[in-house]
Chain A
């Protein structure tokens, strides 16, 4: 009898393990009633709390789009601020369902860490910001400089690569949180601060005197920033990926938050498929047929989100550049919904 009990206990323990790992994220999310979204500790334009302590930004809008697609409610999202150093463990452990926090897509991260990158929400590159008083005009003049950088980032690696490739002797000063990096730079610990150039533009808007700092012209790396999910759950991966594609396709087809209801009556088959009037594309990924309609109704399309948070009319004033649609000379391109 005791032997039987032991067998049952063991198989129960192992069975528990198996379910814990292979649980469907979508089922968990639905049971919980909200999406858990890992964001930055505060990067203006990307994910940052506003005056009312609501998270806003381009990457926050992506999380809201997920909430809209699953629950028809963009507010069905809880935000978890994560340091660069903690983000992947948090995602891997299931503390968040998706990571939408200026994370660079690299091969190691995509293949070796049990993660899957969804797409490139923002094409970025690494830049430097320096004090005007130092009179530097190019990153090549940074020989001997102390450079502040965030721990556990691709920027830390790129900086070492750039220094080695250009024969520069650079003193790398590493901190864990972004606020510490910025504070140390402002307090004069470093001659330069380096990270993704969009984040530098964002941080500079919050410097005490933004005009006393210059962003150097060099972009020393490719930084494709995008949302990340755990590997091994194809359904949730597809939801995450096609939410991003829906935002792009909506912009390409001219569907906006304002005209989405009118567009329901459109004769264009591509628009009809996008909005779920024709065919059911939500079913195979565990959502309703109007999943993309919900996203656009609540969030708008990619271009609207871009202009709202980081575009030329915002303090960040980032031109679309590479992030324009392929039809406008950029490289944002989504496969068709059909």
Chain B
């Protein structure tokens, strides 16, 4: 509704300074001075801390600087996404830590969101058993410290799963035992790049098609197939490229040799326990956020949707959830940030994430405390800010459009 009323004057009328009052009695001048003093104070504090640290380090005869990053680290890391051995540099240790942290955070965020939404919706279920189960889950999990839960999952995994020689084996060399889960690994050849590019292009094309056809449905109101053509757009080019390029996909199967399984990809129990612990814990909080979001949508919306003849699933998907999202997204972002930062507790169960390998081992072996902790903080800050930016962008998309 356009507002026809006269716009309200928001700027207070300027009061001319009285002739006999000094300039330092001007509130604007005072505000300027106070803020200036605060800035100077903060800068001076940090300058003082920095010079203090420098002086103390020099007095303790400690070396400082980033030259150590090129030095060989000299220790081994049990789980790394990039090649790493004892001759690798401290900088590579840093990257191994960052990648492992990213791995845990990204898997954790996806799984925790899925589990959290399921539990959150279950808490509102009309089924007594499901509702009570979800309530017990939330109240139990979120009221225990995460560190305790991680240790629980880890030592449960070590004690409940069979030893390596009695591993539970499945076809293709898949094996589950107390030292982790072994999976076959893909070994790409030179031409594999064509296939990889084809997959990316095909998936993007499929998504563009889906968007376009959904828009068509919305505009014309006529139903038309979406999923089958989309699948065809994705799959057909992939197969074509696979056969034309002549790439050969080989697998490296894990095999029990000596003490342990070798070859393939090994997910160590530390990784599994860390992801499991973070997902279970964070999902309990996400569940409450989802429940709150759904309950914030007034019941009249459900009734209106029913009156329009929407099915139960469509009611949730098209009417309730989009309105709930604007309540859910901001606290959900906090949970994502929490999960990323909590992944540093992996140090307690021996998973080589950033804090364990870099702030732990690398700091100890090199003695560069300030440099290393600063670099680690920078990583978490970057991760968190990036997550925030993405979620804020999404939030502005789902935010209530006020007209």
Contact = CB atoms under 8 A, between A and B. Distances in A.
A160 B155 CA distance: 26
Contacts of B365: 108, 152, 156-157
B260 interface: yes
Interface string B252-276: 0000011110100000111000000
B60 A174 contact: no
A170 B75 CA distance: 11
Contact of A173 (B74, B348, B350): B350
Contacts of A189: 158, 178-179, 269
A231 interface: yes
B262 A184 contact: no
A112 interface: yes
Nearest to A20: B56
A17 B367 contact: no
Contact of B76 (A21, A109, A172): A172
A191 B258 CA distance: 11
Contacts of B78: 146, 171-174
A164 B86 contact: yes
A169 B260 CA distance: 11
A152 B364 contact: yes
Interface in B27-70: 48, 52, 55-57, 59-63
B156 to A, nearest CB: 10
Contact size range, B:
35 or more
Contacts of A84: 364
A191 B259 contact: yes
A180 interface: yes
Interface residues of A, number: 51
Contacts of A191: 259-260
Contacts of B335: none
Contact of B260 (A18, A108, A145): A145
Contact of A21 (B48, B56, B179): B56
B347 interface: yes
B213 interface: no
B369 interface: yes
A183 interface: yes
Most buried by B among A18, A143, A145, A151: A151
A176 interface: yes
Nearest to A164: B86
Interface in A156-193: 156-157, 159-161, 163-164, 169-176, 180, 183-184, 187-189, 191
Given A21-B56, A187-B178, A113 B62 contact: yes
Nearest to B350: A175
A232 B360 contact: no
A164 B270 CA distance: 25
Interface string A18-40: 10111000000000000000000
Interface of B: 48, 52, 55-57, 59-63, 74-78, 85-87, 155, 158-159, 163, 178-179, 257-260, 262, 268-270, 347-350, 352, 356-357, 360-361, 363-365, 367, 369
> What 9 A-B pairs have minimum CB-CB distances, sorted nearest first?
A152-B364, A114-B60, A160-B86, A172-B76, A187-B158, A21-B59, A144-B258, A114-B62, A113-B367
Interface of A: 13-14, 17-18, 20-22, 84-85, 88-89, 92, 108-109, 112-114, 134, 142-146, 151-153, 156-157, 159-161, 163-164, 169-176, 180, 183-184, 187-189, 191, 230-232
